[in-house]
Amino acid sequence: MQALAAKNAQAAAGPPRQCAVPARTGSRCSRRPAQPARKAQPIFASADKVSPLKAQAVDDIAVYTEVSTQSVADAQVKLDKPRVVVLGSGWASACFFKALPKDIKEKYEVVMVSPRNYFLYTPLLPAVAVGTMEERSIVEPVRNLVLGKGDYYEAVCKAIDPVRKELVACFPKDAGLDEACFKIAYDILIIGVGSVNNTFGVKGVAEYCQFFKSIEDANTLRKRISECFERAALPYTPEEERKKLLSFVICGGGPTGVEVAAEIHDFVFNDLKAHYPELLKDVRIRVIELMDYVLSTYDRKIGEFTHKQFERAGIELVLNTRVASVRDGYVSVVPKSGEEFEIPFGSCVWATGIAMNPLIKELQQQFPEQTHFRSALTDEFLRVKGSDGSIWAFGDASTIEQPRALQRADELFEQADTNKDGLVGLKELQALLTEASKEFSHLEEHARFLEAKNKRFGGLLQRALAGNSNGAESPMQTVEETDELTKEQFKALLEKIDSGLRALPATAQVAKQQGEYLAEVLKRGSFDQQAKVLQPNEKQAPFKYNHKGSLAYVGGDQAVMDIPKVGPIFGTGAGIMWKGYETFAQISLRNQLLVISDWVRTKLFGRDISRV
């Protein structure tokens, strides 16, 4: 740590040497003319941000070298290789490293930078929250993944300078030691920083609800459930207080919300039942969902099955209801038809959707081409738009740019307005979107949404449009059945649709495939020494997503699956397949074995109810 701090001071003090290529501090590099010292924070002067990309001299690339814990000799062996820096250790980055061949180090110096030194298998996170799985069974140290292929620095990237091709990263303060910031030069940057939780501006969420994204979140929930039961079991706990403690509220009826509710139910009625028999009557598990059924991005039959399964189990679905605000122990909700009311809770889980990682926001300021409100826009090879091929992005942090419908708005309006009254009604709009989706594929889900709205399905695809289960950002929410749009309103709607365009869902499946794809691009492509960019092999095809299906656990050893060409499958058989899949899909054999042993342990001995 001290070494890091000392080297950090050295990095902050200014560039000591100049090398032919981005390099670690090495004695053979020639001394560069003295430059003014740069502070670690703030890292980049605003002038840097606006300077045109191509105007920057290549010399400057090597100005700042990272704090290196490697020996000088070791650093010099790597001097002639382009450096690839990969941000993040999530699905995209971990699968990228896993897919890299060992001999990649002959060609590139690959470095992972991430504050989390392990990969987390998120689909089984709800199972960790109740002890079905142990946390260590679903995490894999990233050092195992990078071993023999590259390096790893535990640090959060704070800023990217695409002109100098360098970034600033800091060993996180929350790791218990002092924060230590350093700079690292890159030739190729791959961004896989994922997303952050989205409160949708609902007051009190950050203070009183629990997010559900990390291993810490799962552990906190596990402890909270235990605390609520122990507190409720104390003698003389007033009835009202007991009921409040045993009320578990889950905001969001998407796959995460549904699985959390199902796991809590399993835990209470399989494992806690024998220990707190007198408390069971007071337990309430509620899922609040804006739509009129849960799992709304899956086939409708799956939502219906889950509804019935939850009804049988006693999990309450509070549908067609929006969360208005949260205060200590109370969530305030507004039904679509009805008055606002409060639900008391012992624990409230917020599982509604994702928002843009702040690092992408910062990147957007440097590239005018970056206009998407949720992620970094890339081309179909996953190159970040505007970066000339030196920055790539994958996973939740990115989205592939789609052709924009707005550019053809006038023509589309004429086409839509079949009765030529200068207005476009809901049915005309739906017909147009269906037709235009042959050219603009992102319009298809909107067309299907309107169709659902027409059929009073209550917004079959609203969640998909909004990219979250409370649908707060769906442009189609603003269209009423009686609406007739003028040309200006029609254009405004298309603009909204275009700006929220996400080519692919934010899922592990997409991130994994993109990670494997970029590993292939790196392996088969070449580094253009003149342009200083990664050139994909001329035979390299653009990224193509292969959707293998969606699945969710719904409790009582039952699961639901929506598989292309097969259709919906649900029940106990699906439950067995789900367990098999979640075991097989682990990132390492070690994880697979640990997960199997956890399923067996839970079946034989039940879940561990101690709060450790």
Ligand X SMILES: Cc1cc2nc3c(=O)[nH]c(=O)nc-3n(C[C@H](O)[C@H](O)[C@H](O)COP(=O)(O)OP(=O)(O)OC[C@H]3O[C@@H](n4cnc5c(N)ncnc54)[C@H](O)[C@@H]3O)c2cc1C
Question: How far apart, in whole angstroms, are the C-alpha atoms of residue 491 and residue 411?
Answer: 11
Listed residue (433, 421, 397) closest to 92, CA to CA: 397
Nearer to ligand X, 123 or 131 (CB): 123
Nearer to ligand X, 113 or 209 (CB): 113
Nearest to ligand X of 138, 479 (CB atom):
138
Closer residue to ligand X (CB): 430 or 550: 550
DSSP sequence for 325-374: EEETTEEEEEESSS--EEEE-SEEEE-SBEEE-HHHHHHHTT-TT---SS
Smaller CB distance to ligand X: residue 166 or 292? Answer: 166
User: What distance in Å separates the CA atoms of residue 609 and residue 223, rounded to the nearest whole number?
Assistant: 9
Return the residue nearest ligand X (CB atom): 90
Alpha-carbon gap, residue 157 to 87, rounded angstroms: 7
Q: How many helices (H) and strands (E) does the chain have?
A: 21, 31
Beta carbon nearer to ligand X, 89 or 347: 89
Burial of 531 by CB count in 10 Å (0-12 exposed, 13-18 middle, 19+ buried)?
Answer: exposed
Task: Please give the biggest Cα pair distance in the chain.
Answer: 78
- CA angle 23/25/29 to nearest 5° reads 75
Q: Could you give phi then psi for residue 108, rounded to 5 degrees?
A: -135, 160
Cβ 106 to ligand X shortest distance, Å? 26
The nearest distance, CB 392 to ligand X, in angstroms, is 13
The least CB distance from residue 397 to ligand X, in Å, is 6
Are 171 and 179 spatial neighbours (Cβ–Cβ below 8 Å)?
yes
Minimum CB distance to ligand X, residue 40 (Å): 16
- Angle, alpha carbons 16-19-72 (nearest 5°): 70
Residue whose CB is less far from ligand X, 15 or 257: 257
Task: Output 129 or 609, the one with its CB closest to ligand X.
Answer: 129
Q: How far is the CB of 337 from ligand X (least distance, A)?
A: 31
Least distance between ligand X and beta carbon 539 (Å): 27
Distance between CA atoms of residues 612 and 610, nearest Å: 6
User: Minimum CB separation from ligand X for residue 193, in Å?
Assistant: 4
* Residues lying near ligand X in the complex (CB under 6 A): 87-93, 113-116, 122-123, 125, 156-157, 192-194, 212-213, 255-256, 357, 359, 395-397, 506-509, 511
Give the end-to-end CA distance of the chain in Å, rounded to a whole number: 29
Of 86 and 443, nearer to ligand X (C-beta) is: 86
- CB 492, min distance to ligand X, A: 30
Question: Which candidate, 17, 25, 151, 32, places its Cα nearest to that of 76?
Answer: 25
The DSSP letter of residue 396 is G
Shortest distance (Å) from residue 71 CB to ligand X: 26
40 residue type, one letter: A
